[in-house]
Chains A and B, each alone.
Chain A
């Protein structure tokens, strides 16, 4: 028992064990061997100003403006936000709400550009030598270039690169696990642009100030592992390629850290607290472009796959390309797909319309047929416990679901709802087809709405109090002004009365004097005015 628990024995197995997880059919063969192709310029580009977690970017252009490739069209608002750049040169034909690539289809402020076909570069960011640059300069450049986590979470990368100042970091893990079925964009990137990814990784390691760099790749990508191994030296002496077991959700940040280093991240803590930062492989390539060539994030590699697509492919597309154009480039749809997804089949977002654009976080466009979605009727829970053994976070999905179904959200939180990473393993494994992860997503949304309502209630109280205070202040000021005026008027009146009295007195005295003078003509200077005594 004691011997088996020794870490080095576990290490011989290649990696530490992960709790739970599932093995969905990967179906990566559909697009695995399709080399990355460039897409011709679409007729319109719709670039949303919110493609990241955090605050929406501030629009920097107006309708009818002419923009150049790489020009800043949306400026980051606050710390957790990201810049947005024009993907090509052309005319801005509108700045306004347009459907977001989101299951709700709600509008988001979008800059629509009609490309002029010349693809003319605007002024580039200043030249930079990563070898001489300080970590802060690199993080700054990543911020300027508008780079966000390209694995799908879209968290601004510069914030994550600045973690070195706050935490004592020792390892950078490049997440190239790509555990979602169908997706092959990161794999193609590792195979075709190995050098760029390796260089970007080295730059990020420098920004973070870490010595150890591990590229984690699932064992089902032997070619990518082999190619990457040729470039480990480029990542510095601490570089290493680590194959990790093919298991969903290996690409989840915390689970990857646990698999690679054997360190378990505490609930609701950051991996940075353990000294580890995880970045996506595509992000590394974007950092390489931004730092070496001063190019902001203008395009990304997207996997178009699923049996509903005629020609599955990996395409490098400009940010803002409509999904419909991308699908047309891949031979169009093969009949009516059962479901259209942005992202992978496990965690991707269903979209309603094909008109929505590709954004920085879209790693795949999937058109799934009926045979692939296996939508089935939900049945009662038989308490088999499959979801419990599949949950990589060690939660009890069936228990949480029962509480959510009876509207006991607080009890669901007690059962660990907030530790759920929404990987969908439970829904995948459930023999009764119960929509478990869907119900957790709903509950999390409800709780967030509740929280914001509570916040709004407090705000309302504050506003009402502020208004009352202001009105009282105005009333007091009015009263004071009135009192002052009254006092002034009283003073004026008094002065006038006194002046009148003095005049009267003077007149009387003058009259008396003149009377005296008439009686006694030799009286001196009696005709002079008499000053009123005050």
Chain B
């Protein structure tokens, strides 16, 4: 029995040393910009980009495997900041430098269809849904990032994304027509 124990212990030691050396020799450096990129991303790990969490998305952007426009909840600001860090141009047209950027989306719950199953409210990464078991849930639009996570889990398809409602607080004047357009 002592022989068996000694063998296993020795094997463990040797393999451990090999692993330790291998980890040092074959160390893969994470690009330092990954941390910077991750700091810019919303950090909700909503998964809309198709990568495992915001960290995964940051790595993909750093490896240039994904465009900087990958984050729908982040909007134009995130695109511009990501492009700045990653050192690429802000893509034209695709939400980049277009004159009128699309309205941000927020979740909306059809109260007739809500069964109060609490699935969406457990899934929401920003706690933007309030509700309790067998009670109708509702969305706090100020906290919602429009990340789509709740839409997927709703068993009755009672949630959909809608443009954020305009209020007197976030309304502003439209851009007046440029010099030549105004010909009426």
Contact = CB atoms under 8 A, between A and B. Distances in A.
A446 B171 CA distance: 9
Interface string A404-444: 11010000000000000000000000001011001101101
Nearest to B140: A463
A232 B142 CA distance: 52
Contacts of B112: none
Interface in B113-165: 125-128, 142-143, 145
Contacts of A464: 42-45, 125-126
A457 B173 contact: no
B177 to A, nearest CB: 7
Contacts of B107: none
Contacts of A467: 125-127
Nearest to A456: B142
Interface stretch (B4-12, B14-22, B72-80): B72-80
Given A378-B182, A456-B142, A460-B143, A466 B43 contact: no
A442 B172 contact: yes
Contacts of A446: 172
A466 B174 contact: no
A407 B176 contact: no
Contact of B173 (A441, A452, A460, A463): A441
Interface in B165-179: 166-168, 170-179
B183 interface: yes
A309 B107 CA distance: 46
A108 B173 contact: no
Interface residues of A, number: 41
B127 A463 contact: yes
B105 to A, nearest CB: 13
B97 to A, nearest CB: 7
Interface in A81-103: 100, 102-103
B24 interface: no
B179 A448 contact: no
A449 B168 contact: no
A528 interface: no
Contacts of A377: 182-184
B172 A445 contact: yes
Interface in A71-121: 100, 102-104, 106, 108
Contacts of A106: 166-168, 171
A449 B128 CA distance: 21
Contacts, number: 90
Given A377-B184, A464-B45, A449 B170 contact: yes
Nearest to B171: A104
A459 B175 contact: no
Contacts of A459: 142-143
A381 B74 CA distance: 37
Contacts of B74: 457
Contacts of A452: 170
Contacts of A456: 142
B169 to A, nearest CB: 8
A453 B75 contact: yes
Interface in A132-173: none
A104 B170 CA distance: 11
B168 A463 contact: no
A10 interface: no
Nearest to B128: A463
Interface string B78-100: 10000000000000000001010
B99 A407 contact: yes
Given A457-B77, A460-B145, A467-B125, A435 B176 contact: yes
Contacts of B170: 449, 452
B183 A439 contact: no
B42 A457 contact: yes
B49 to A, nearest CB: 15
Contacts of B44: 460, 464
Contacts of B173: 103, 438, 441-442, 445
Contacts of B172: 441-442, 444-446, 448-449
A460 B126 contact: yes
Nearest to A459: B143
A460 B174 contact: no
Given A442-B175, A450-B77, A460-B145, 11 more contacts: A50-B168, A102-B168, A381-B179, A404-B175, A407-B97, A432-B179, A441-B172, A444-B172, A460-B44, A461-B43, A463-B126
24 contacts: A100-B168, A106-B167, A106-B171, A377-B183, A407-B97, A432-B179, A435-B176, A438-B176, A439-B176, A442-B172, A442-B176, A444-B172, A445-B171, A445-B173, A456-B142, A457-B77, A460-B145, A461-B43, A463-B125, A464-B44, A464-B45, A464-B125, A465-B43, A467-B126
Interface of A: 50, 100, 102-104, 106, 108, 377-381, 404-405, 407, 432, 434-435, 438-439, 441-442, 444-446, 448-450, 452-454, 456-457, 459-461, 463-467
